[in-house]
Amino acid sequence: MTGAVGRKDFLQGLCLFSLSGLFFPRMGLGQSRPHRIFMLLARAESPFEKGFRDGLIAYALPTSLESRQIVPEEDLPTLLKEILYHHSPALLYVNDQALLKRLSDSFSQALTTAPESQPWFFPCLSIVPFSPQPVTALQGPHFCGVQQNVPFAQQLFYLRMIKPTTKLMMVTIPNHPYGAILAFQRQALRQGTLLLWETLPLDSAGDIDMPALASLLEHWQALGIESLFLPSPGYRAEEIAFLAELATEKGFALLAETPWLVQDHRAMLSVRHSRYAVGRYAAYQAQRILSYQQSPARLGLTAPRKPHILVNVRTVKRLGLQLPVALLQQAELWEG
């Protein structure tokens, strides 16, 4: 994970609100004019935006791009009305997941106060990174999305290519949604793997409990567990990074949901869609909505076809494992 957004900013995301026809009152959509896209940015541009811009060019989608940096104290309902009524965008683009929820609420207010004489149509295309929380802003007939995370079953498939796994320990941060854990467990069972889970041990000060963690690793090894799954760590980045280092030193094979744990902290494997690829796919979805008038509800929540597979070669060798030829042909090999 590289680019303007920091590697450890895990919950970043971007959203594309498709407003084609929504704020063109009494205007025919067949007029020859570029689609206006307004970009609301909660942080500096990243590979998401690079991929999106390149995708618009590659798909020859005529567009006019405008952007604005959003600050936390921004009055979103007022700003949204100004953008929608005065700029008439066909697509509203957002590069932050928290902003997606705020905008979803603001849209409801904006549409409620809209003049009754104007025909409002409200489709929404969103792009979200991995998050264990349900993306409530994507619910509804006019919403669709592109996601960055790869289904856990697919991640587990690549792990088993390197190391056959019948028991896997998932290490979560405090308050990880239980529903997400159950979903992971069901996907693992379908592949013949028992997924156990344990919360990262913290002391009374909120720091990692070193003696408890060392004891846990020894206990897991006594249970015959040789592989760990580390979901996106969110606000516990430093603690999860320390766990990755220590667990690898103890001989565990680590499947990490975020690539920087492979690059910087010796985790063995990461399977995730790159931010650039997600941005490119967002442009493809935008083309389907704006040029071909496809219904967002029918597009659903999708993702790029091929994930980015990152393997730490040194860790693989240290664990005495070998990479199969089929994986060598697909993966990026990290020598760090």
Q: State the CATH number of the domain containing residue 20.
A: 3.40.50.2300
CA 330 remoteness from chain centre: 21
Residue 5 lies in a domain: no
- Specify whether 183 is located in the same domain as 268: yes
Helices (H), the chain: 47-58, 76-87, 97-112, 152-162, 178-190, 210-222, 237-249, 260-265, 275-290, 296-299, 313-318, 325-328
Query: Is beta strand 91-96 parallel, antiparallel or unpaired with respect to 12-18?
Result: antiparallel
- Specify whether 78 is located in the same domain as 185: no
User: What's the total number of domains in the chain?
Assistant: 2
Rounded Cα–Cα distance for residues 159 and 214 (Å): 24
Residues 6+ away with beta carbon under 8 Å from 223: 167
- b/e per residue 262-279 (b: at least 16 CB within 10 A): bbbbbbbbbbbbbbbbbb
Q: What is the pLDDT of residue 108?
A: 62
Rounded Cα–Cα distance for residues 103 and 77 (Å): 8
Q: What is the pLDDT of residue 44?
A: 83
Residue 24 lies in a domain: yes
- Specify whether 160 is located in the same domain as 185: yes
Residue 115 lies in a domain: yes
Q: What is the pLDDT of residue 169?
A: 97
- Specify whether 313 is located in the same domain as 182: yes
Residue 48 lies in a domain: yes
- Specify whether 93 is located in the same domain as 123: yes
Residue 98 lies in a domain: yes
Residue 202 lies in a domain: yes
Residue 109 lies in a domain: yes
- Give residue for tokens 């969103």: 126
pLDDT per residue as tens digits for the range 12-50: 344 555 554 443 333 344 445 788 888 888 888 889 899
Rounded Cα–Cα distance for residues 296 and 126 (Å): 10
- Specify whether 113 is located in the same domain as 26: yes
Is there a contact between 113 and 94 (Cβ–Cβ < 8 Å)?
no
Question: pTM above the 0.75 mark?
Answer: yes
Is there a contact between 62 and 32 (Cβ–Cβ < 8 Å)?
no
Sort residue 47 into left (φ over 0), alpha (ψ -120 to 50) or beta: alpha
**Range 273-290 average pLDDT:** 90
Q: What is the pLDDT of residue 29?
A: 42
Residues 6+ away with beta carbon under 8 Å from 312: 262, 263, 266, 267, 268, 269, 334, 336
Cβ count within 10 A of residue 91: 25
Q: Which residue has the higher pLDDT, 112 or 306?
A: 306
- b/e per residue 28-46 (b: at least 16 CB within 10 A): eeeeeeebbbbbbbbbebb
- Specify whether 157 is located in the same domain as 268: yes
- Specify whether 144 is located in the same domain as 156: no
Q: What is the pLDDT of residue 16?
A: 57
pLDDT per residue as tens digits for the range 197-213: 999 898 888 888 989 99
Is there a contact between 289 and 146 (Cβ–Cβ < 8 Å)?
no
Residue 7 lies in a domain: no
Q: Is the pLDDT of residue 96 over 90?
A: no
Q: HEC states along 133-170?
A: CCCHHHCCCCEEEEECCCCHHHHHHHHHHHCCCCEEEE
Residue % of the chain over a pLDDT of 70: 79
- Specify whether 23 is located in the same domain as 158: no
- Specify whether 138 is located in the same domain as 160: no
- Specify whether 142 is located in the same domain as 176: no
Which range of residues forms the domain containing residue 216? 152-272+308-334
Q: Is the pLDDT of residue 103 over 70?
A: yes
Residues 6+ away with beta carbon under 8 Å from 227: 159, 163, 165, 167, 168, 169, 252, 253, 254, 255
Q: Is the pLDDT of residue 8 over 50?
A: no
Q: Is the pLDDT of residue 220 over 50?
A: yes
Q: What is the CA radius of gyration of the chain?
A: 22
- Specify whether 139 is located in the same domain as 204: no
Q: Which residue has the higher pLDDT, 133 or 313?
A: 313
- Give residue for tokens 């895990």: 10
